[in-house]
Amino acid sequence: MLFATALIAYCFSYIKGLYYICTMLQQTLIEATRAGAAIMKEYFDKQFTISNKEGVNNLVTEVDHKSETVIFEIVKKNFPDHFILSEEAGAIVQESEYKWIIDPIDGTINFANSIPICCVSIAVEKNGEMILGAVYNPFIDEFFFAEKGKGAFLNDKKIQVSTKSNLQTSCLATGFPYSYLDTLNSPLEVFEKLIRKAIPVRRCGSAAIDLCWVAAGRFDGFYEHKLQAWDSAAGWLMVEEAGGKVTDYKGQVYSPYQPNILATNGLIHEQLLHIINGGNF
């Protein structure tokens, strides 16, 4: 009897501890995302330092670094032992089952040119599984949030992918790499096939926003040939939790640690995958 009572107490305590950690993760994620976005708003359409990374027009600004700094401060304050992977700082390695994947400004070229299609994107991974994601564009006040197994939301309203089943009547989004990939089925070849069939393909300049807009049913699909984990981690979870499908270009389970992504409503997935891999209409 005493053992059973002790076991129940232990289980209750364990569950309570898990709930606390999950709640703290959510609160920290939301706080950090909003803090980074506040920095973006503060400096938007003002003068700031801009430099170039590898590849032409692969920009980084002092605002990227300032946003990253405030995000780091909030994450480290609450979870000092967590692994962090961020676009500007790279990997801050810790022995932890949790990893924060951070893009302090996704859509830096847009931001540097005062185009308000840019955002903060942060995801939380646990033991290799994406469990939380947040993407916030403060200029149109759209806060996307997803939790594994609990759905995706835009400003607290649940969202879901579109229901179009014909690729030729779909609205798509894509992006192009800074270092052009001159290979078989290259970005321009795929793009040309689609637009020659009069399929609208938008290039907004922020993969995180493109993925969220797939999740919200605005785009029916998004593909890109060369992304980093911080570009896609949060948006990938958003699409899947909104009922969509995300794979690599082989149609296999998606990993943000490889470059290719195809995210759709699921209904046009195989059709678009066929075109991306060299097929014709």
0.85 surpassed by pTM: yes
Tens-place pLDDT, residues 132-179: 999 999 999 999 999 999 999 999 999 999 999 999 999 999 999 877
Instruction: Please tell me the distance from the alpha carbon of residue 243 to that of residue 153, in angstroms, as a whole number.
Output: 12
Pairing of β 245-247 and β 261-264 = antiparallel
Mean pLDDT of 246-265: 97
Please state the rounded mean pLDDT for residues 105-131. Answer: 97
Phi, psi angle pair for 227, to nearest 5°: -125, 160
- C-beta atoms surrounding 193 within 10 Å: 17
Q: Give me the chain's average pLDDT, please.
A: 91
Cα-based distances in Å from 179 to 151, 187, 227: 35, 11, 11
How far are the Cα atoms of 171, 190, 271 from residue 193, in angstroms, in the given order? 14, 5, 13
CB 256 within 8 A of CB 172: no
Domains by residue range for the chain, with CATH = 2-158 (3.30.540.10), 167-276 (3.40.190.80)
* pLDDT at position 53: 77
pLDDT tens per residue, range 216-237: 999 999 999 999 999 999 999 9
Cα 139 from chain centroid (whole Å): 18
pLDDT for the residue numbered 185:
81
Looking at residue 52, its pLDDT comes to 80
| pLDDT tens-place string over residues 24-59 | 999 999 999 999 999 999 999 999 998 887 766 777
pLDDT at position 3 over 80: no
**Residue 20's pLDDT is what?**
55
Q: Is the pLDDT of residue 263 over 80?
A: yes
In the structure, what pLDDT confidence band is assigned to residue 2 with cuts at 50, 70 and 90? very low
> What is the pLDDT, as a whole number, of residue 21?
66
CA 102, CA 79: separation in Å to the nearest integer?
A: 15
